[in-house]
């Protein structure tokens, strides 16, 4: 588990460019990475959060063909579309780049030439499917067929989305062209380049064994690859769109998307470095003099784990260029939809653009983190979504805020009427409980236990409702107005503490809470308010004015649930 260090490098798996992503893709990498990045910025100093679109390979070509556009034009448009959606979800990337940028081309060719010179690249003549109707060789993702392992009927030539098995094209049962669906295909001989993973297997095995704190899903997948023995893997493709191989005799081929895409983490960091006017700073993150000064954490769904835990580390070790290796891989299982799998290619599930039209982004952020598929797959339904939002955000957090603000407005002209800095005014028992809850939330976020973090936040909000219900300031104000004022002053500070600690998960709502509390400095700097500050119950001075009562969240009614369930019944 990453400990507190001076620098925290965070990367999320790069979303494919082929269309708007679904919410399963969001919770499987980008959203939890954002929550972690926001938490670290509040508490641990320097953070660099990198992501971008994965634009090469078959998915981009096929999507462009379906859209009737040139592949570059298609990628340009989809990059802006995806970038805009992620901004609306509050994903706080320090830089959101592209794998098609020149920086990735430079880094990928630098790594390839190092592998070539170090003797890790071999040439092989292989048999590859050729589509007579399409008049071209079919790289692995241009093939579809039945998986030989699980019998999933829409497996691709490199990987099965049904069971996650990595495949070779000739292993598919009843393969067809993904372009034309033609069965008029045949195996022909062609020459390609391979990365000889067997030569670096011992180093990778030793390295994986050192990371016994990785999640079980990550360790299990990595060890499975190691135990089965690392084999040479083809790193070139017969495509027009991609990074061309920097060897003359192979210049008509491009690199396999999984050979160039991970390198884009480095390339995008280089682009960030140039964008902030410090063109050499990327090296401090990727080639640090003291590697321990940078803690590098990756976020991804389990189908991406083999490439991040084995394939890319093997590339970096074999290239021996001094690039930083990952310290911790946070792998996730899948969020399913209506007991089936989300699919971008099959347009099945709730997609991020539609999600934003339905509900506030914080609704999605909270629900997805509260039901994060960490230990097992999680299933999405609108009834479950509404239940969580209504119970947690509306009935617990929102209800507490409304009660406090309404009582302050009614009895104290929306102002704090007592000085908690005076001796004896602080409720020490409450403060002790607050410290306990804040520490628990902090521990869960630091350990990347996202479901537990959401649960501990809800428990913290429940403490506020228990406190105000126990003190009954609406009754107390009649006999002892000072005691009522003391209670409500504590409640205002509780609201501030809720905003600080929940900010990584529901940033828009938390900033709004501080705005309502008229905490101008806190609202402006909430990204840097440490969790220790949530324990400060002497922040607001007497006579400090807060805003009028308002609903932070609106309940999702049963009729709306039924409507959406029918609209998105699994055939979208």
For the annotated binding site for ATP, the residues are: 344
Could you tell me if residue 277 is left (phi over 0), alpha (psi between -120 and 50 degrees) or otherwise beta?
left
CA-based end-to-end distance of the chain: 39
Query: Residues 6 or more apart from 214 whose CB is under 8 A from it?
Result: 222, 309, 328, 329, 331
Query: In 3-state terms, what secondary structure has residue 130?
Result: strand
Q: How far apart are CA 328 and CA 451, in angstroms?
A: 18
> Residue 451 burial by CB count (10 A; 0-12/13-18/19+): exposed, middle or buried?
middle
Q: What's the CA gap between 405 and 415, in Å, rounded? A: 9
Positions at the binding site: 147, 150, 160, 163, 344
The per-residue b/e assignment along 490-516, b for 16 or more CB within 10 angstroms, e otherwise, is bbbbbbbbbbbbbbbbbbebbbbbbbb
**Contact between 220 and 208 (Cβ < 8 Å):** no
Handedness of CA 239, 260, 90, 385 (dihedral sign): positive
Residue numbers in the known binding site for Zn(2+) are: 147, 150, 160, 163
Q: Strand, helix or coil at 493?
A: helix
Structural tokens at position 310: 């084995």
CA distance 393 to 482: 30
Asked if 349 and 7 count as a contact pair (C-beta separation under 8 A), the reply is no
């Amino acid at each position: 588990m990453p400990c507190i260090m001076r620098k925290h490098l965070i990367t999320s798996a790069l979303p494919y460019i082929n269309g708007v992503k679904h919410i399963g893709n969001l919770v499987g990498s980008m959203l939890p990475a954002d929550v972690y990045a926001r938490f670290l910025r509040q508490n641990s100093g320097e953070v660099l959060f990198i992501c971008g679109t994965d634009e090469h390979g078959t998915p981009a070509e096929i999507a462009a063909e379906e859209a009737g556009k040139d592949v570059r034009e298609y990628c340009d448009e989809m990059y802006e579309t995806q970038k805009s959606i992620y901004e609306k979800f509050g994903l706080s990337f320090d830089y959101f780049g592209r794998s098609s940028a020149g920086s990735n081309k430079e880094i990928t060719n630098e790594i390839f030439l190092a592998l070539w010179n170090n003797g890790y690249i071999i040439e092989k003549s292989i048999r590859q499917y050729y589509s007579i109707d399409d008049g071209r060789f079919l790289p692995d993702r241009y093939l579809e067929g039945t998986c030989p392992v699980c019998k999933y009927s829409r497996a691709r030539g490199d990987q099965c989305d049904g069971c996650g098995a990595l495949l070779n094209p000739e292993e598919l049962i009843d393969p067809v062209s993904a372009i034309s669906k033609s069965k008029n295909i045949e195996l022909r001989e062609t020459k390609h380049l391979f990365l000889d993973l067997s030569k670096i297997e011992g180093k990778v095995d030793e390295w994986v064994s050192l990371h016994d704190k990785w999640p079980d899903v990550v360790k299990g997948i990595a060890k499975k690859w190691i135990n089965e023995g690392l084999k040479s893997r083809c790193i070139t493709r017969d495509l027009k769109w991609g990074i061309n191989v920097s060897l003359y005799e192979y210049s008509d081929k491009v690199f396999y998307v999984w050979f160039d895409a991970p390198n884009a983490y480095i390339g995008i960091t280089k682009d960030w470095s140039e964008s902030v006017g410090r063109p050499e700073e990327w090296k401090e993150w990727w080639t640090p003099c003291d590697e321990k000064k940078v803690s590098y954490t990756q976020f991804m769904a389990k189908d991406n784990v083999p490439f991040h835990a084995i394939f890319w580390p093997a590339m970096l070790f074999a290239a021996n260029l001094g690039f930083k290796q990952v310290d911790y891989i946070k792998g996730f299982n899948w969020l399913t939809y209506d007991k089936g799998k989300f699919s971008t290619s099959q347009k099945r599930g709730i997609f991020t653009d539609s999600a934003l039209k339905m509900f506030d982004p914080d609704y999605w952020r909270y629900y997805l983190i509260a039901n994060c598929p960490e230990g097992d797959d999680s299933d999405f339904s609108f009834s479950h979504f509404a239940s969580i939002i209504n119970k947690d955000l509306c009935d617990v957090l929102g209800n507490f805020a409304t009660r406090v603000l309404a009582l302050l407005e009614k009895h104290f002209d929306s102002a704090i009427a007592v000085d908690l800095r005076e001796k004896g005014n602080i409720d020490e028992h409450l403060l002790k409980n607050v410290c306990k809850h804040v520490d628990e939330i902090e521990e869960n976020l630091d350990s990347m236990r996202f479901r537990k973090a959401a649960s501990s936040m809800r428990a913290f909000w429940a403490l506020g409702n228990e406190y105000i219900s126990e003190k009954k300031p609406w009754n107390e104000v009649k006999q002892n107005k000072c005691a009522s004022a003391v209670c409500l002053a504590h409640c205002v500070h509780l609201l501030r503490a809720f905003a600080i600690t929940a900010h990584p998960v529901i940033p828009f709502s938390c900033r709004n809470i501080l705005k309502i509390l008229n905490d101008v400095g806190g609202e402006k700097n909430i990204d840097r308010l440490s969790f220790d500050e949530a324990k400060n119950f002497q922040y607001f001075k007497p006579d400090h004015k807060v805003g009028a009562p308002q609903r932070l969240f609106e309940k999702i009614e049963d009729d709306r649930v039924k409507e959406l369930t029918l609209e998105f019944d699994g055939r979208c």
